[in-house]
Amino acid sequence: MSVARGGRLAAADQAMLELNQSVEVDKRLWREDIDGSVAHIGGLEGAGILSSEEAQTLRDGLSQVAREIEAGQMQWDPVKEDVHMNIESRLVEIVGAVGGKLHTARSRNDQVATDLRLFARRRGVEILEALDGLGGVILGRAEEQIDVLMPAYTHLQRGQPSRLAHHLMAWQEMLWRDRGRLVDAITRLNESPLGAGAVAGTGFAIDRASVAQSLGFSGPMRNSLDATASRDFLMELVSALAILGVHLSRIGEEIVLWSSSEFGFMELSDGFSTSSSMMPQKKNPDVAELVRGKAALLIGATTTLMVLEKSLCFGYGRELQDDKRPLFDSCDNARIALNALAGAIETASFRADRLEGALERGHLTATDLADYLVTQGVPFREAHHIVGGLVRKASEQGIELSKLSAEELLAAHPSLQGSEVRAALDPRTAVERRALFGGPAKARVLEAIADARARWQLAQKESIAGA
C-alpha cells in the first residue's frame, strides 16, 4: 500500500507508513488542535487573509468535526499520518476548498507545539486539582489525629517520641513543594508557538500576540526556531511529575509498612484493598504498591523525553513525534495515583493503640534523658555516654530505660534523681518539650496545620483566578 505525499514525493512504502503514522497516539490532542485552529482562523481573518464569511465557514466546519469526534463518529485514518491532517481532511470534506486555506501561515511544526502546550497546561491544572485534593485529605487526617503519639524513625528504627499528625504533615510538606514545581512548569510553558511556522516564521502579517491571547497564553514565543524545536517544557512538567511520583511512592511505602501485621499502625478500607486468589485471610495494600509502581513509569517518561531531545539539532526533527506518549502517560499516571492515594488515606483507620504502644519499646526517651543532664551542666557528649550506658544496662535486663530503678539511675550520675528525671522519661512530656517551630508539640502542629491550610487555600484561589 502506498499513497501520494504532496507534490514532491511519489509514494511511501508500507513499512514507512507504519513508522510515519502517529494518529493512534496523537488523536488525543484533537480538542487542542481544533482550539488552536480556531485561534489561527482569527489571526488569518485579522490579517485580511480570510474574509469574515470564510472564517465563519471554517469555524462552523471545525465545530462539526468536534461534535463528530465527541460522538465517536470520526474515522481516524493512519494514512493521513496524524491528528492534524485527519482533522483538516475532514474539514475539507465538510466545507470544501476553503478548508485548504486554514493552513496558510502555519506549519505542523508550530501547530503541534501549540497543541502540546495547550494539552500540558490543561492536564497540569487537572493534576494540581488532584494534588490539592490529596493535600486537603492529609491536613484533615492530621487535625483529626492530633492527640495520637507515635515513634519518629531513623534507619527504620524507633528514634524519638513524636506525633502522628506531625508525621502526616511531613507528607504534606513534600506535596506542597511538588505543587510549586508544577505551578512553575505550567507558568513557563504558557507561551504560544503559533506564527513560528516551520522554523523561520511566516511572511503573512499575523498578529501573534492577539492569537496567543485568544488561547490564554501569556504571549507569543520570542524565537521561531526555539518555538518549534524545543520540548524542555515537556521535560520540566514530566520531571516535576516524576518527583511527585517519588514522593507518592514514599508515602505508599509507609502505608505498606504501617498496614502490615508487624506494624499495625493503620488499616486500609476494603475499597482500597485487594484479597488473594489463594489465601482467603489476606487484605493487601495494593493501592500503595501500585502507586509505587507508577513512580517508576513517571521516572521512565522523564528519561525518555530527555534522551529524545538530547541529540536534536535546532530545527524540528521527526523523532519529536514520540514526545506525546511520555506526556500522556505521565499525566494519566500522576492523576490516577493522586486520586487513589487520597481515597485510601481518607478512608483508612489509624490504630492509636498500636501507634502509641510502639513508644513502649526502643528506649525512645534516651535523648530526653541526655538533654536533662545537659540542663544540669553536663556536656552533651558526656551525657550521651552516660545515657548510652544506662540503655545498655536496661537492654541486658530486658527492660526499657524508663523502667530502671532510681538507684540505678543515681549510680550513673548524681543528677539523675527526682521527679524531673521521671518526667524526662515520659514520652508525652518529651513530645511537648519539642515546641520549637517545626516540632511535634501539639500547639506547634496545630499552628502548622492552620498555616498549611491557609497556604493551600490561597494557592487554589490563585489557580482559579489564573485559569
Which pLDDT belongs to residue 145? Answer: 98
> How much is the pTM?
0.91
pLDDT, tens digit, 9 for 90 and up, residues 149-190? 999 999 999 999 999 999 999 999 999 999 999 999 999 999
Q: Kindly tell me the burial class for residue 340, based on how many C-beta atoms sit within 10 Å of its own C-beta (0-12, 13-18, 19 or more).
A: buried
Give me the chain's average pLDDT, please: 92
CATH number of 18-104: 1.10.275.10
Residue 291: closest CA among 237, 348, 344: 344
Domain 366-425 listed as CATH 1.10.274.10: no
Length of the chain: 467
Contact assessment for residue 434 and residue 424, using Cβ atoms and an 8 Å cutoff: no
User: E strands along 51-170, which residues?
Assistant: 149-154, 157-163
Query: Cα(285)–Cα(274) distance, rounded to whole angstroms?
Result: 7
Task: Provide the pLDDT confidence category of residue 16 given band limits of 50, 70 and 90.
Answer: low
Catalytic residues: 155, 276
Which pLDDT belongs to residue 322? Answer: 84
Please give the share of the chain, as a percent, with pLDDT higher than 90: 85
- CB under 8 Å to 33, separation ≥6 — which residues? 83, 84, 87, 111, 115
Task: Provide the pLDDT confidence category of residue 334 given band limits of 50, 70 and 90.
Answer: very high
- CB under 8 Å to 327, separation ≥6 — which residues? 116, 119, 120, 234, 237, 238, 301, 305
Which pLDDT belongs to residue 7? Answer: 56
The CATH class for the domain spanning 109-358+456-466 reads: mainly alpha
Which pLDDT belongs to residue 9? Answer: 53
Pair type for strands 266-267 and 157-163: unpaired
State the span(s) of the chain assigned CATH 1.10.275.10.
18-104
Which pLDDT belongs to residue 317? Answer: 76
Count other Cβ atoms within 10 Å, centred on residue 361: 10
Count other Cβ atoms within 10 Å, centred on residue 417: 13
Query: Cα(156)–Cα(5) distance, rounded to whole angstroms?
Result: 62
Residue 393 in this model has a pLDDT that exceeds 50 = yes
* Beta-bridge mates of residue 160: 152
Which pLDDT belongs to residue 279? Answer: 83
State the span(s) of the chain assigned CATH 1.10.40.30.
366-425
pLDDT, tens digit, 9 for 90 and up, residues 62-96? 999 999 999 999 999 988 889 999 999 999 999 99
Task: Provide the pLDDT confidence category of residue 132 given band limits of 50, 70 and 90.
Answer: very high
Q: Across residues 264-289, what is the average pLDDT?
A: 88
Query: What are the CA-CA distances from residue 33 to residues 39, 85, 113 (Å)?
Result: 10, 10, 10
Query: Cα(283)–Cα(269) distance, rounded to whole angstroms?
Result: 10
Written as nine digits, the cell of 290 is 501500585
Task: Provide the pLDDT confidence category of residue 3 given band limits of 50, 70 and 90.
Answer: very low
Give the 3-state DSSP-derived string for 29-42, with helices as H, strands as E and coil as C. Answer: HHHHHHHHHHHHHH
Query: Cα(254)–Cα(151) distance, rounded to whole angstroms?
Result: 13
Task: Provide the pLDDT confidence category of residue 12 given band limits of 50, 70 and 90.
Answer: low
* Beta-bridge mates of residue 149: 163
Conformational region of residue 385, where left means phi above 0, alpha means psi within -120 to 50, and beta covers everything else: alpha
Written as nine digits, the cell of 393 is 544496662
Count other Cβ atoms within 10 Å, centred on residue 291: 26
Query: Cα(350)–Cα(264) distance, rounded to whole angstroms?
Result: 9
Which pLDDT belongs to residue 313? Answer: 81
Residue 3: closest CA among 59, 109, 81, 97: 81
Query: Cα(259)–Cα(362) distance, rounded to whole angstroms?
Result: 20
| Coil vs helix vs strand at 354 | helix
HSE of 82, CA atoms in CB hemisphere, 13 A: 17
Find where cell 509514494 sits. Answer: 11
Query: Cα(136)–Cα(132) distance, rounded to whole angstroms?
Result: 6
Query: Cα(285)–Cα(264) distance, rounded to whole angstroms?
Result: 12
Which stretch of 105-109, 218-222, 281-285 has the lowest confidence by average pLDDT? 281-285
Residue 464 in this model has a pLDDT that exceeds 70 = no
